Structure 1
């Protein structure tokens, strides 16, 4: 399968003045600034190859119920509310009204969610002030995913929960715990999965299982104050290099931030910085991976056909998950 030719991570950046390791300019075409980032790896050929993952004819939704996790207000995000409007239009008719923060449940970070904190710029050099304060540049808004036809690709489930149980690794799904590159690569080897350009890497850490079983009285991943610790991928330089050189279209999981908090060096946001403003790579967070894990176990296959239908919000920063996996 012919793919998109891009530089190796060690050869980035290619644009003068761009941050170290960034892909600014890599996907630009005909002097036009790219707005799709690593989704450019999902070519028509990659989609046609991904459809071959549909063999059993079974599908699962990767979205938590919208009210979960509980207590998003602990980190300054509004709580989900649902009004059930009976007798609408003076008829036996019902409408729904909901209020929700797109970061408070299963969701995908768009390219306006997180800027390079040192330079105050988004992917491909779009200024934070223009895009998010004055709103004069909405080119990286979540509507771009709809314009491109959503996200359709092959997904790979890296089931760390299954791996940890087999290896006798004990950890709290609320964190802290760092899932290493070595562990991810060992799981892929055990699952007999070879990555290919345009894949979406999905890492299950078990947080969605915890959230599904939780009550409002239980501890939640939404903790107040600055002492947040979370399970996730450990964003070491080696892992970041591997993600780019593997040509993944996106990375996702059931963890709160996708990346471990804190990282190996005590920092926060290394994966966000590399993926969102660096490469234009969407991050999926708080996905519900329990039904998918059961389906993968049933069929002994950890690759699947994956679709994301984003909320078409002009200039939006993120979208509710709206993600389906089909085997």
Structure 2
């Protein structure tokens, strides 16, 4: 099944043994082949052609934050490193001393700035299984013979990257217009009702295969701060991060809208820390939307995108939809990647 017109709603998804209700494994399988793209299958030729109509003003906006956005010292993910190499001084001075040539080397963690979380990033924690029932391991992603069967981001290139209709829900601008205040660095949940209110306020409609983007103001609050200042914001918020509510009802809403992908400017797209069924606060393993989106729906999540300029342009033109393009790095077995995303108006 690959046509969005055939997609069952959340409550009608066929049960999958050992998995919670709402597991979409097998929905996009075709001709006996196990799917590796998930909801990107909704970007059909007709859907993409319709999205081209959004690019008519000659305006392009980058949605990518600086690769050294996060500078918090001592974090679990390495900061971006950039080394400039002079052929005359560093590569082979004796042989290349006369050459005026520069190279560079870059090292970074793919979670340290704007990113796509690929379908190998977060397994269903109870079973350890990833999207479509595969067991993703470090060894498997590093094995050239095994990783081809895993839903790594390199498979995006086989379909020509991602091109579709992007839709911005600018929650930050909406709250400013309505006199609502909140701290991006706090456990502030943006509810599904909030998202629907923003859509109504903007007069924004949704279509199957849309790429939904939510602006909450987190990434732009980090821009220009040093590591100690960023850490100060996080300490003040006691580790809380604003984001979309993490609940089964929220997961159901997203699936039933049949988005091709989702993204935002927050750390996890969903609010952190997550709330467990007993009402207590959990840790990363308790992220509800990550579990549904990545491991059960096959719905990629973009995080820490740079949405300030996009929000300002949408507000000035009263247009909140656009042609979105994105091409991750083409590395076999890649778990996450800078999005290299553009909005075209």
User: Shorter-normalised TM-score: what interval?
Assistant: over 0.9
SS of 2:223's equivalent in the other structure is helix
| 1:74–1:222 CA contact under 8 A, matched in 2 | no
Indicate if the aligned counterparts of 1:106 and 1:287 stay in contact, CA closer than 8 A.
yes
Is the 2:122–2:291 Cα contact (8 Å) retained in structure 1?
Answer: yes
Instruction: Structure 2: state its 5+ residue gaps.
Output: 89-95
- SS of aligned partner of 1:202: strand
Within a 5 Å distance, the mapping from 1:227-242 to structure 2 comes to: 228-242=239-253
* Shift, 1:86, TM fit: 2.4
Q: Could you say which residue in structure 1 is the equivalent of 2:78?
A: 78
**What are the within-5 Å matches in structure 2 for residues 169-208 of structure 1?**
169-208=180-219
Residue 14 of structure 1 deviates from its aligned partner by 4.3
Of the candidates 292, 303, 313, which is equivalent to residue 285 of structure 1?
Answer: 303
Paired residues of 1:10 and 1:21 also in contact (CA < 8 A): yes
CA RMSD of aligned residues (A): 2.0
Alignment match of 1:160 (pick from 171, 174, 178): 171
- What is the TM-score normalised by the length of structure 1? 0.93
Please report how far the alpha carbon of residue 133 of structure 1 lies from its aligned counterpart in structure 2 after TM superposition.
8.1
What do residues 223-272 of structure 1 show as CA deviations (whole Å, max 9, x unaligned)?
69xx6321111022221111001000111000011110123543431010
Q: Deviations over 1:193-224 (max 9, x none)?
A: 11111101100000122112323331349969
Q: Partner residue of 1:54?
A: 55
* Deviation of the 1:132 alpha carbon: 5.0
What's the CA shift for 1:128? 3.0
Aligned residue for 2:74, secondary structure, equals helix
* 1:157 partner SS: strand
Alignment deviations for residues 42-66 of structure 1 (CA, whole Å, 9 cap, x no partner): 1011101111111211011111111
TM-score scaled by structure 2? 0.88
Which residue does the alignment assign to 2:123? 115
- Write the distance in 2 (CA, Å) between the matches of 1:68 and 1:221: 15
Question: Cα distance, 1:134 vs. partner?
Answer: 6.8
CA distance in 2, matches of 1:243, 1:237: 10
Cross-structure match for 2:93: none
Bigger shift: residues 157-166 or 266-275: 266-275
Q: Match of 1:252, SS?
A: strand
Select which of 86, 100, 103 maps to 1:95.
103
> How far did 1:87 drift?
3.7
1 CA distance for matches of 2:305 and 2:176?
A: 21
SS at match of 2:82: strand
In 2 relative to 1, CA 220–64 (structure 1 residues): closer, same or farther, beyond 3 Å? farther
CA gap 1:220/1:62 in 2 versus in 1, 3 angstroms = farther
Contact 2:222–2:230 (Cα < 8 Å) also in 1 = no
From the superposition, tell whether residues 222 and 50 of structure 1 become closer, same or farther in structure 2 (CA, over 3 Å): farther
Count of residue correspondences: 323
Q: Which has the larger radius of gyration?
A: 2
Shift of 1:3: 4.0
SS in 2 for 1:314: coil
Moved more, 44-53 or 125-134: 125-134
Partner of 1:24: 25
C-alpha distance 21-194 of structure 1, shift in aligned 2 (>3 A)? same
